Amino acid sequence: MISPQLSHINPNPSFPFSNSTFPQSLPTKTLKPHFKPKPTPIVSVLQYNRKPQLSGETPRVVVITSGKGGVGKTTSTANIGLSLARLGFSVVAIDADVGLRNLDLLLGLENRVNYTAFEVINGDCRLDQALVRDKRWSNFELLCISKPRSKLPMGFGGKALIWLVDALKTRSEGCPDFIIIDCPAGIDAGFITAITPANEAVLVVTPDITSLRDADRVTGLLECDGIKDIKMIVNRVRTDLIRGEDMMSVLDVQEMLGLALLGVIPEDSEVIRSTNRGYPLVLNRPPTLAGLAFEQAAWRLVEQDSMKAVMVEEEPKKRGFFSFFGG
């Protein structure tokens, strides 16, 4: 049970996720934010025909976290990381999921991970030997923190990540534009390690209250740690369920967490296929819906932008006669 722990941390009854007040504290109208009377003008949400403008200082150290497990942190890290590389930025992805690492699998680099940061710390290899360069996009590199069965000495878990970021800054090929850290679930030692070097955070949530409660707590911890730039990705969104009022809409989620939106990723069966292939879906051709959404999220991350409009539901498309021929 999470509740006793929560009320212990949070004596404040106004907290919208505390058990008893949670359902009632939300005014019912917030469940249908898109029926609000005065529609503000929508500005364009998608960008394609230009190179995104990198804002902020490099390296941008971004931790991708969630609190709850299995909501898509690793999927987001792989896809946003490779999108950034495709957009021309140099990226180092750090798999800080010490206990259950699987970013290498998603990227299809599992056979090339010989050394990890653990060996670097131990002096078994140099940092450049532990970085696995992706053959598809050579400006993308992967660094795993440790082998699944080795134990990370916590005396310098977080410190080691700071050293690693420092070492990457001063390396001869130049400082990477982005260092993306895949954070483990929970708020245990692994989480603490992963967030230590970060300047900004991407919170991955799914539109269900369990994920949202964890996300809220993690956001609170990140804010306590001084990470103020927190944006969220809402993953596994199903417009059909939202229309049927069976799933919270993205705007409902935003109303509950009060975080800027970096991206909305639809539920997509291509995700599992791309995992099987070890080939992140942003590299798929033809691109899939989720792939496009990840790409747009990466775009916003570069420009430190957030979404101004969200896709709410599918409209029937008027199909011309020649659509029969695939036109």
Ligand X SMILES: Nc1ncnc2c1ncn2[C@@H]1O[C@H](COP(=O)(O)OP(=O)(O)OP(=O)(O)O)[C@@H](O)[C@H]1O
Q: Which residue has the tokens 């249908």?
A: 32
Between residues 74 and 254, which has the closer beta carbon with respect to Mg ion?
Answer: 74
The residue of the chain with the least Cβ separation from Mg ion equals: 74
Angle 306-95-288 from CA coordinates, rounded to 5°:
50
* Coil/strand/helix, residue 265: strand
Going residue by residue from 118 to 157, which x/- string records binding to another protein, judged by CB under 8 A?
xxxxxxxxxxxx------x---------xxxxxxxxxxxx
Quickly count: other Cβ atoms within 10 Å of residue 90's Cβ.
21
Per partner kind, with CB cut-offs from 5 to 8 A, the member of Mg ion, another protein, ligand X, none near residue 44 is another protein
**CA proximity to 208, closest of 15, 67, 104, 7:** 67
CA distance 251 to 244: 15
Cβ at position 192, least distance to Mg ion in Å: 16
Cβ at position 270, least distance to Mg ion in Å: 18
Binding of another protein by 3 (CB under 8 A):
no
Residues 6+ apart with CB under 8 A from 143: 92, 93, 94, 95, 116, 117, 130, 131, 132, 164
Stretch that binds another protein, among 46-54, 55-63, 69-77, 174-182 (CB under 8 A): 46-54
Cβ at position 186, least distance to ligand X in Å: 8
Between residues 73 and 217, which has the closer beta carbon with respect to another protein?
Answer: 217
Between residues 88 and 148, which has the closer beta carbon with respect to Mg ion?
Answer: 148
Structure tokens belonging to residue 81: 């990381």
CA distance 93 to 181: 6
| Contact of 68 with 214, CB cutoff 8 Å | yes
Cβ at position 207, least distance to ligand X in Å: 11
Residues 6+ apart with CB under 8 A from 147: 116, 118
Binding of ligand X by 72 (CB under 6 A):
yes
Binding of another protein by 1 (CB under 8 A):
no
Going residue by residue from 264 to 293, which x/- string records binding to ligand X, judged by CB under 6 A?
-x-xx--xx--x--------------x---
Cβ at position 46, least distance to another protein in Å: 6
Subset of 174-193 contacting another protein (CB under 8 A): 189-190, 192
Torsion sign across C-alpha atoms 142, 145, 148, 149: positive
Subset of 225-264 contacting another protein (CB under 8 A): 225, 239, 251, 254-255, 257-261
Residue numbers at the binding site for ligand X (CB under 6 A)? 66, 69-75, 97, 100, 184-185, 235-236, 265, 267-268, 271-272, 275, 290
